Copies of this chain bind each other. A is one copy, B any other.
Amino acid sequence: MYRTVNCGELRLSHVGQEVILSGWVQATREFGSLTFVDLRDRYGITQLVFNIEDDRELCEKARELGREYVIKASGLVRERSNKNPNRPTGDVEMEVKSLAILNKSKVPPFTIEDESDGGEDLRMKYRYLDMRRNPVKDKIIFRSQVAFAVRKYLMDQNFIEIETPCLIKSTPEGARDFVVPSRMNPGQFYALPQSPQTFKQILMVAGFDRYFQIVKCFRDEDLRADRQPEFTQIDCEMAFVTRDQVLDVFEGLTRYVCKAVRDIDLPEFPRMSYDDAMRLYGSDKPDTRFEMTISDLTGNAQGHGFGVFDQAEVVLGINATGQAGEYSNKDINKLTDWVKRPQIGAKGLVYVKWNADGSIKSSVGKFYSDETLISWCEKMGAAKGDMLLILSGELDATRKQMGELRLEMGRRLDLIDPAVFKPLWVVDFPLMEWDPDSNRFHAMHHPFTAPKSEDIDKMLDGDHETMKKLRADAYDLVINGVEIGGGSIRIHDRALQEKNFKLLGFTEEESEKQFGFLMGAFEYGAPPHGGIAFGFDRFCAVMQGSVSIRDFIAFPKNNMGRDVMIDAPASIDAEQLEELGLNLNLE
Q: Cβ of A561 and Cβ of B182 under 8 Å apart?
A: yes
Question: Within the assembled complex, what's the spacing in Å between the Cα atoms of A222 and B128?
Answer: 35
Contact with A188, one of B167, B571, B579 (Cβ below 8 angstroms): B571
Taking each of A128, A151, A202, which has the highest tally of chain B beta carbons within 10 Å of its own beta carbon?
A128
Q: Is A32 an interface residue (CB 8 A)?
A: no
Known: A103-B526, A169-B569, A560-B185. A207 touches B137 (CB 8 A): yes
Q: Cβ of A525 and Cβ of B103 under 8 Å apart?
A: yes
Of the candidate stretches A53-61, A157-165, A280-288, A376-384, the one touching chain B is A157-165
Question: Within the assembled complex, what's the spacing in Å between the Cα atoms of A571 and B514?
Answer: 11
Of residues 561 through 587 on chain A, the ones whose CB sits less than 8 Å from some CB of chain B are 561-563, 565-573, 576-587
Of residues 141 through 166 on chain A, the ones whose CB sits less than 8 Å from some CB of chain B are 141, 143-144, 147-148, 151, 155, 160-166
Known: A131-B206, A162-B144. A526 touches B70 (CB 8 A): yes
Contact mask A204-247 → B, CB, 8 Å, 1/0?
A: 01111100000010101011000001101000000011100000
Question: Within the assembled complex, what's the spacing in Å between the Cα atoms of A356 and B522?
Answer: 67
Question: Within the assembled complex, what's the spacing in Å between the Cα atoms of A189 and B569?
Answer: 5
Q: Cβ of A585 and Cβ of B583 under 8 Å apart?
A: yes
Of the candidate stretches A173-181, A306-314, A480-488, the one touching chain B is A173-181
Q: Is A547 an interface residue (CB 8 A)?
A: no
Q: Cβ of A528 and Cβ of B128 under 8 Å apart?
A: no
Q: Is A3 an interface residue (CB 8 A)?
A: yes
User: Could you give 8 example pairs across A and B, Cβ below 8 Å?
Assistant: A103-B527, A104-B525, A128-B206, A132-B206, A167-B557, A168-B563, A169-B568, A517-B567
Using a CB–CB cutoff of 8 Å, the interface residues on chain A facing chain B are 1-3, 22, 24, 40-42, 68-70, 102-106, 108, 126-129, 131-132, 137, 140-141, 143-144, 147-148, 151, 155, 160-170, 172, 176-192, 198-199, 202-203, 205-209, 216, 218, 220, 222-223, 229-230, 232, 240-242, 492-493, 517, 521-528, 553-555, 557, 560-563, 565-573, 576-587
